[in-house]
Structure 1
Amino acid sequence: MIVPEIRIREARAADEPALAELDRTTWSPLHAVTPPPEPGRPFYDERHRPEHFLVAELGGAVVGYVRVVPPTRLACNAHVRQIQGLAVDAAARGRGVARALLRAAADRARADGATRLTLRVLGHNAPARSLYESEGFRVEGVLRGEFLLDGAYVDDILMGRPLTD
């Protein structure tokens, strides 16, 4: 049996239907603080443009994405990039797609001149936290009880990693 290779590339406008569907099907209270995306809602908008995303393909199908952007518009913060979204189709999980997306995000951030990569993850999302730690991210802050989700207070974990050796 031949296992298709993961291909990471920049998102294109034509990816919007596949990314919108992926966003809807992967939504979970394990990682989302916003309500589920509504069917028919555009994936791209003025704050979420194709150039902000890298997509993962397996066998030519879009199976994941990561959004990598500057965390602010401040010049004093221009050396940082932040992951603000990572999703992998359930059928593609366990194949290294999320890890490949994280590595590509770090490469993209370096190419943009960044020296740090940061992200936020919900405290109860142990699988994601473990993956991030295995890719060099460390906890840099905890906002205790920051979100009230399904009747429970959930921590917001701030993680970061250097992009230099």
Structure 2
Amino acid sequence: MPVPCIRHATPDDEDGLGRLDRETWSTAHAVTPPPRQPYEPFFRPRSGPRDHLVAELDGRLVGYIRLGFPTELASNAHVRQIRGLAVSEEARGKGVGRALLRAAVEDARRQGARRITLRVLGHNTTARKLYESEGFVVEGVQPEEFHLDGVYVDDVLMGRPL
């Protein structure tokens, strides 16, 4: 099985990441509406290329992870938060999500963070198992925080020390 190449995103990744975001959108993991068609910018002022790691397999962009700050408070600057993770359908089950997650943990550590956190929907058992296998633990649950496809869904808060 080929090993994914993980690198920091560049401005040239905008179109590919936008396409990946549209193709992978699902209420299994997203609480926001689907990205608008035909095109909505992927990079934003508070979430640019430097905040993303991308995965490539055989030279094709197949995944990304977005790392940011949970708040803008100086007293919270020692924490990084995973603010998005997507893997293309054809790359699932090939270690891409795990490689991105590990790279994000290392990136946060290099930035001087002491903790890394994330939020995951309660019904997203695949993602929750991945996070748990990489040392994340449930630190809180907000019951029925979201209403998606006619169902109330928990928001699960997870974290781990670095």
Aligned to 1:105: 104
Question: Which structure 2 residues correspond to residues 106-125 of structure 1 after superposition, within 5 A?
Answer: 106-125=105-124
Unaligned segments of structure 1, at least 5 residues: none
Does residue 93 of the first structure (1) align with residue 92 of the second (2)? yes
Cα RMSD (Å): 0.7
Question: Equivalent pairs: percent with the same residue?
Answer: 63
Aligned to 1:82: 81
TM superposition shift of 1:75: 1.2
Aligned pair count reads 161
Unaligned segments of structure 2, at least 5 residues: none
Secondary structure in 1 aligned to 2:43? Answer: coil
Deviations 1:111-139 (A, max 9, x none): 00001000000000011001100000000
Deviations 1:35-89 (A, max 9, x none): 1111211111212211110000101111000000111121111110000000000
* TM-score where L is the length of structure 2: 0.97
Aligned to 2:21: 23
TM superposition shift of 1:5: 2.4
* TM-score where L is the length of structure 1: 0.96
Q: Please give the alpha-carbon distance, in whole angstroms, between the structure 1 residues aligned to 2:27 and 2:139.
A: 23
TM superposition shift of 1:14: 0.1
Aligned to 1:141: 140
Q: Please give the alpha-carbon distance, in whole angstroms, between the structure 1 residues aligned to 2:109 and 2:123.
A: 29
